[in-house]
Amino acid sequence: MIELTDGLSLSVLVAAASIGFVHTLLGPDHYVPFISLARAQHWTIGRTLAIVAACGVAHVLGSAMLAGVGLAAGAAIGEMEGVEAGRSSVAAWAMVAFGAAYCTWGIRRAFVTSKGLAPHSHGDHVHIHTDGVTHHHHAGDTDGPVQPRTFWALMVLFILGPCEPLIPLFVLPASRGRWDIAIATILVFGIVTVVTMVFVTAAGFYGARQINFGAAERYAHAFAGGAVAISGLMVIGLGL
């Protein structure tokens, strides 16, 4: 039996931080949906990062709860990782479906509301609400509302989306009765994951604000949906 000495416990926590950072950075599904939807729906940076943080916490806690239940039931690490892999596939395809549906809606909305629209100079853009009403916004004016269905769709996707690397990191100390280290592992992994999501999304948020679609601004929702779908396909195709 492997005893968790102070040195090994520290190694587990360092591994949790490192893996949490790399896992998040390499997974476009951790930030692309937020960046693209914030750009299309004109969310403020505060709203965007609040949604990112909420989804990030749900993302980590979903896997931590599954690991805890599996450990209590006596499931092996391999079995729990198998369940996580299944969740990963479901979450990735759900993201593709959500992105495709949002893209389709965006294209339809663009065509329905395209009459009489023209590109604006000096960084102006057109903001089309879901009720079909068109508003003109000036550059830097990011006050769009967060649609509840968009928020809850993202929450469900991230609750379903697993953190596979967290399973063995959590189970190792928990199975040996070191619940202090197990809980610390979740906290470290979770904090690093959420902070990385927040920073990468913030960078992408400001970068996306520099893009001027001009006359194609009315297709911003379609572009956002396409970006979400592609990020889901990348997770599936590359096994991220």
Per-residue pLDDT at 73: 62
Statement: the pTM of the whole predicted model exceeds 0.95:
no
Q: What is the mean pLDDT of residues 193-205?
A: 96
Per-residue pLDDT at 82: 63
The H or E element that residue 231 is part of is helix 220-238
**DSSP letter, residue 43:** -
Residues ≥6 apart with Cβ < 8 Å to 27: 235, 240
Structure tokens at 184: 């610390």
- Residues 220, 224, 225: CA angle, nearest 5 degrees: 120
pLDDT digits (tens, 9 = 90+) for 160-169: 876 777 888 8
Cα 204 to Cα 117, 144, 183, 208, 230: the distances in Å are 28, 18, 31, 6, 16
Report the helix count and the strand count for the chain, using DSSP H and E.
8, 2
pLDDT digits (tens, 9 = 90+) for 94-145: 899 999 999 999 998 888 776 544 444 334 444 444 444 344 444 444 444 5
